[in-house]
Amino acid sequence: MLCVSCHLDATTRVLSGKRMLDVPPEFGVIYSANITKHPAQGIASWTDGEIAYLLRTGIRRDGRYVPPYMVKLPHASDEDILSIIAFLRSDDPLVAPHAAPTHVPEVSFLTKVLARVAFKPFPYPTAPIGAAETKDPVAFGRYLADGLLDCYSCHSADFKTNNYFEPAKSPGYYGGGNMLLDASAQQIYSANITPDVETGIGSWTEAQFLRALKGGFRPNGTPILYPMLGYVDMSDEEAKAIFAYLRTVPAIHKTRPARQVVVVVPASEGQGKQVYYEYSCNSCHGDTGIGLHDLRHAWKKYPTDAALIEYIKDPSAKVPGIKMPTWDGVIAEDEYAPLVAYVKTLQVRTEP
């Protein structure tokens, strides 16, 4: 749920790394690493200890420190660290060997300074970290949100001021407003998910929170945009625990800034393009159809308009576990045909 969002490449369909579209430009041009089982380009030759040390401290086996764009897990249980390593060693298709080289990040001067002043390597734990307490929903939710899924990192005020050792001391803890980028490189700000009734999620029900977290839609029916992705693999119990914990954090009355650019498509450019941007398809797929997911080959899997429409309406029925939300009942029936027609033009323009 955490690693895949950064390391899954839309073209290779494995964890071969990619440019991280959501990283603010002030940190530079950042690429995630190839973490497949390839012996040279991936991490097949790394020992379990080297992987664990990287996950805990941010230090690679060559001694280099990976700045804060790589999530570290100083609070994760030993069992969960070992489970991540077991997955990386498994026969899961996501980690199948792939020879794509890892691009060297083009870090900014700011990142270099922060990596020496504020974002230093984390110390390796000096004692075992036990499993999370699952019987207490609030404690379990805090562990999931702060210790394992790094939710506070995006939803607090600013990456530069987060307290990664004591998350609850991060300025603007869960109050949102942190600037990110979507797949079209447009600024988008994280949401306030404190229990403030007016500007946060204080008026949300548990069911509404689960639909937002797992299904990708707010209570008012608007889609939640990239870089936030639906946690479709999360159990209801885990989602409920996170909600229980968020109900306990201090409420912050803070309205997040509006999106920097809202694309308005002239009628002359066609209804399909209007629909594509109206429902923020570009947030994940980019302006060319090659963003978080690659639309270029959709016609090969769904060769007819009817088949592609059926997929868009309920993606999980075709691809279990996919993070794309279910659009049935959200997109109007008469909008599907022009949308599919526009998606086809993206395939033609971008087909290699």
Question: How confident is the model at residue 301, as a pLDDT?
Answer: 82
Which has the higher per-residue pLDDT, 91 or 6?
Answer: 91
Question: How confident is the model at residue 262, as a pLDDT?
Answer: 63
For residues 203 and 223, what is the distance between their CA atoms, to the nearest angstrom? 18
Would you say residue 219 has pLDDT above 70? yes
For residues 10 and 54, what is the distance between their CA atoms, to the nearest angstrom? 25
pLDDT category, 54, cuts 50, 70, 90? very high
Amino acid code (one letter) for 294: D
Task: Output the CA torsion 135→141→147→152 (10° steps).
Answer: -170
Question: How confident is the model at residue 204, as a pLDDT?
Answer: 98
Task: Clarify whether residues 38 and 76 are in a common domain.
Answer: yes
Q: Return mean pLDDT, the chain.
A: 90
- Span 14-45, pLDDT tens digits: 999 998 877 878 888 889 999 999 999 999 99
- Span 259-285, pLDDT tens digits: 755 677 888 889 999 999 888 888 888
Q: Is residue 168 part of a domain?
A: yes
Long-range Cβ contacts of 46-51 (<8 Å, 24+ apart): 48/82, 48/85, 51/84, 51/85, 51/88
Task: Clarify whether residues 147 and 100 are in a common domain.
Answer: no
Would you say residue 119 has pLDDT above 90? no
Task: Name, of 1-10, 233-242, 265-274, the range with top average pLDDT.
Answer: 233-242
Residue the block writes with tokens 């306030």? 192
Task: Clarify whether residues 19 and 80 are in a common domain.
Answer: yes
- Span 63-115, pLDDT tens digits: 988 877 788 999 999 999 999 999 999 999 999 999 999 998 888 888 888 77
What three-state secondary structure class fits 59? Answer: strand
- First-to-last C-alpha distance (Å) of the chain: 30
- Which residues make beta-bridge pairs with 94? none
Structural tokens at position 3: 């690693």
Q: Is residue 312 part of a domain?
A: yes
Question: How confident is the model at residue 257, as a pLDDT?
Answer: 85
* H helix runs in 129-205, sequence order: 137-142, 151-155
CATH number of the domain at 222, please.
1.10.760
Question: How confident is the model at residue 24, as a pLDDT?
Answer: 77
Question: How confident is the model at residue 323, as a pLDDT?
Answer: 83
- Which residues make beta-bridge pairs with 189? 179
Q: Which of left, alpha, beta for 289 (phi over 0: left; psi -120 to 50: alpha)?
A: left
Amino acid code (one letter) for 282: N
Which of the listed residues 246, 276, 310 is the one where a domain comes to its end? 246
Question: How confident is the model at residue 310, as a pLDDT?
Answer: 95
Task: Clarify whether residues 16 and 68 are in a common domain.
Answer: yes
Q: What count of other Cβ atoms lies within 10 Å of the Cβ of residue 105?
A: 21
pLDDT category, 1, cuts 50, 70, 90? confident
Q: Is residue 258 part of a domain?
A: no
Q: Is residue 131 part of a domain?
A: no
- Span 122-167, pLDDT tens digits: 899 999 999 988 999 999 999 999 999 999 999 999 988 999 889 9
Average the pLDDT over 277-297 and give the result: 81
Task: Clarify whether residues 277 and 327 are in a common domain.
Answer: yes
Which of the listed residues 246, 275, 300 is the one where a domain comes to its end? 246
Q: Is residue 278 part of a domain?
A: yes
Which has the higher per-residue pLDDT, 239 or 1?
Answer: 239
Domain that holds residue 198: 137-246
pLDDT category, 349, cuts 50, 70, 90? low
- Span 163-202, pLDDT tens digits: 988 999 999 999 999 998 887 778 889 999 999 999 999 9
Q: Is residue 327 part of a domain?
A: yes
Question: How confident is the model at residue 350, as a pLDDT?
Answer: 53
Q: Is residue 24 part of a domain?
A: yes
Task: Clarify whether residues 41 and 99 are in a common domain.
Answer: yes
Question: How confident is the model at residue 348, as a pLDDT?
Answer: 62
